[in-house]
């Protein structure tokens, strides 16, 4: 199993020399590490929802095969890579405990995950998720001045962009058959974008805090303020232009309309995600 995984991954965390981490530079940015650790929890829980997603597309061998052979292994490696980085910078942090607690809560939400009504619309939802991760890792990559983290997040960002392209390709394939209206596609886009904002990262961040700051477990104000600070950190660095461009692609708008819509949509997105 391990040998198979090695042959299909486009990069391997084992090939990155973690001893080159500039620890002082990494450790000084506590908020970024909190965010990375939360991301490591979400990525490491990928197999939980991959099985649901795979089952949804089981009758299409192309999609089913790609999800199981590539996508899931790549997402899990993102989790391993970020975990390895955190372990190096925070050697006393009990990652396993935080992840276990996170999974206990997150698995309940995942098992209830509602898929979109059709295959094409579910692919739209997946495009939204990959847009979120691609823009997040690009932001971290540009924000960080620690060279090993730059390498890791550059690799992850490339994977996420590739995932987006695959899901977009699958969306086009299914939408040719289903012929969903632009309104249906837009509804799916908005629905999933709103969900991203609310759920996963907040649960993950809370479980990072509970292990990192055990003395503050009952201090809800402290937690709330910390979560707000970490969220703000990346909101100010994420490229809204890139985000909107990627989100608009499934709508397949004529280029003149896309150009006209781009500016007001960037403003709307900034208002929704960055308030």
Closer residue to Fe ion (CB): 27 or 103: 103
Window 48 to 77, contacts with Fe ion (CB under 5 A): 75
Token duo for residue 207: 């479980």
At its nearest, how many Å lie between Fe ion and the CB of residue 117?
23
Backbone angles phi and psi of 107, in degrees to 5: -65, -30
Q: What is the DSSP string of 170-184?
A: HHHHHHHHH---HHH
Instruction: Tell me: does residue 146 bind Fe ion (CB under 5 A).
Output: no
Cβ proximity to Fe ion, 9 vs 265, nearer residue: 9
Question: CA 211, CA 181: separation in Å to the nearest integer?
Answer: 46
Backbone Cα Rg of the chain: 19
Closer residue to Fe ion, CB minimum distance, 178 or 195: 195
- Two tokens, residue 224: 């709330």
Name the minimum Å distance from CB 66 to Fe ion: 12
How many whole angstroms separate alpha carbon 196 and alpha carbon 243?
13
Nearer to Fe ion, 161 or 185 (CB): 161
Query: Is the Cβ–Cβ distance between 159 and 10 less than 8 Å?
Result: yes
Output the smallest distance, CB 74 to Fe ion, in A. 7
Nearer to Fe ion, 127 or 265 (CB): 127
Task: Tell me the closest approach of the beta carbon of residue 45 to Fe ion, in angstroms.
Answer: 11
Least Cα distance to 140 among 235, 20, 223 occurs for: 235
78 binds Fe ion (CB under 5 A): yes
Site for Fe ion in 162-181 (CB under 5 A): 163
Binding range to Fe ion, per CB under 5 A, among 48-56, 130-138, 183-191, 222-230: 130-138
Piece of the chain touching Fe ion by CB under 5 A; list 37-45, 178-186, 238-246, 248-256: 37-45
Phi-psi region of 252 (alpha: psi -120 to 50; beta: other; left: phi over 0): left
Least separation, in Å, of the C-beta of 221 and Fe ion? 32
Q: Give the nearer residue to Fe ion in terms of CB position, either 36 or 265.
A: 36
122 binds Fe ion (CB under 5 A): no
Give, as ranges, the residues between 185 and 214 that touch Fe ion (CB under 5 A).
none
Q: Which is nearer to Fe ion, 78 or 207 (CB)?
A: 78
Q: How many CB atoms lie within 10 A of CB 210?
A: 16
151 by Cβ neighbours in 10 Å (0-12 / 13-18 / 19+) ranks as: middle
* Residue 1 CA from chain centroid, whole number: 25
- For residues 87-106, which are near Fe ion according to CB under 5 A? none
| Interacting residue ranges for Fe ion, rule: CB under 5 A | 43, 75, 78, 130, 160, 163
């Amino acid at each position: 199993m391990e040998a198979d995984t090695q042959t299909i991954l486009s990069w391997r965390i084992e090939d990155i020399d973690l001893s080159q981490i500039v620890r002082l530079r990494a450790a000084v940015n506590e908020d970024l590490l909190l965010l990375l650790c939360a991301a490591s929890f979400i990525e490491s829980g990928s197999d939980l929802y991959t099985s649901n997603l795979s089952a949804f597309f089981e009758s299409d061998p192309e999609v089913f095969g790609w999800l199981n052979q590539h996508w899931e292994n790549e997402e899990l490696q993102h989790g391993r890579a970020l975990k390895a980085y955190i372990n190096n910078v925070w050697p006393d942090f009990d990652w396993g405990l935080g992840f276990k607690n996170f999974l206990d809560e997150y698995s309940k939400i995942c098992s209830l995950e509602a898929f979109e009504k059709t295959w094409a619309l579910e692919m739209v939802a997946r495009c939204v998720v990959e847009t979120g991760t691609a823009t997040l890792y690009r932001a971290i990559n540009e924000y960080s001045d620690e060279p090993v983290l730059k390498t890791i997040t550059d690799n992850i960002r490339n994977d996420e962009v590739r995932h987006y392209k695959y899901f977009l390709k699958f969306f086009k394939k299914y939408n040719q058959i289903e012929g969903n209206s632009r309104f249906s596609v837009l509804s799916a886009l908005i629905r999933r974008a709103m969900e991203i904002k609310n759920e996963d990262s907040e649960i993950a961040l809370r479980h990072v805090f509970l292990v990192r700051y055990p003395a503050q477990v009952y201090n809800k104000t402290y937690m709330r303020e910390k979560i707000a600070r970490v969220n703000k950190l990346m909101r100010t660095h994420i490229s809204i232009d890139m985000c909107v461009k990627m989100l608009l692609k499934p709508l397949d708008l004529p280029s003149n309309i896309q150009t006209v819509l781009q500016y007001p949509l960037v403003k709307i997105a900034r208002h929704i995600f960055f308030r």
